[in-house]
Amino acid sequence: IVRFDTPQVMGILNMTPDSFSDGGRHVDAPERAADAAFAMQLAGASIIDVGGESTRPGAAPVLEGDEIERTVPVIQRLARSGIVVSIDTRKASVMEAALAAGAGIVNDVTGLTHDPRALEVVAAAGCPVILMHTPSAGEDPHGGAVRYKAGAVVDGAADLAVFDWLEARIAVCLAAGVQRERIIVDPGIGFGKALQDDTRIVNNLALYHGLGVPILFGASRKRMVGALTDGAPVAERLGGSVALALKVIEQGAQIVRVHDVVESVQAARVWRGLRDAALVAG
């Protein structure tokens, strides 16, 4: 069970050879990967997000069997230890295998649009699902160059196209029998979006509370951080990633998905401590 009355940190565990940040670190090594996940849990991560296919721009598609072979062994190890695991996949067969292995959450970067069976699998399982916005249900979730029109919302511009897309996907899930309390949304920073689109989403993230479900935000080490810091390489984007996490936590994001769990948990705890009525009164 994951509580949403305080910000939660999701730790990223990539079982891939080519993910943009940590590709190759754990692939073909489920025991070492499990140890890394245990360390993230001890550091304060509430969820471990396990993925077997890179969704970085230009990444090669992965066969379903290979994705299952990469992820299921580590999921089994984590689930036996009582860790809350999400499976980061867009393929129904991988979802089924991961759920059978003990995963409790499905995290689909295409909002259950890539695989025609994905919605059926999630609805039948009755598990929580994270619906991320992407402009394409095809092999490339980034969908090439996409231009979004910003609409005036409160004090700034917000990406209404993303909001409307997520609202539509929520409606589809509800119609299929997925309970609203099991739906989480992710605006999909970096997926088919220019820097201006991403900054609008971050600055107006509170808009997405209008969807009536929890918000997950994932921009850890992404190119947005590099673009705003004179091209900082992936390995040197910790400070910017934490800054973005705190920005969205301040706007009520319930989950931040990160590579750097220790630092992100510490930042979230300081933020929470500053709001603690007893400490403030003292």
The residues carrying an active-site annotation are 222, 257
Tokens coding 39: 């360390």
Instruction: Identify residue 259 by its one-letter amino acid code.
Output: H
In single-letter form, the type of residue at position 206 comes to A
Taking each helix axis from N to C end, the angle separating 64-80 and 92-101, rounded to the nearest 10 degrees, works out to 20
Evaluate whether 207 touches 215 at the Cβ level (below 8 Å): no
Beta bridge partners of 86: 49, 105
CB 176 within 8 A of CB 223: no
* C-alpha closest to that of 214 among 227, 223, 205: 205
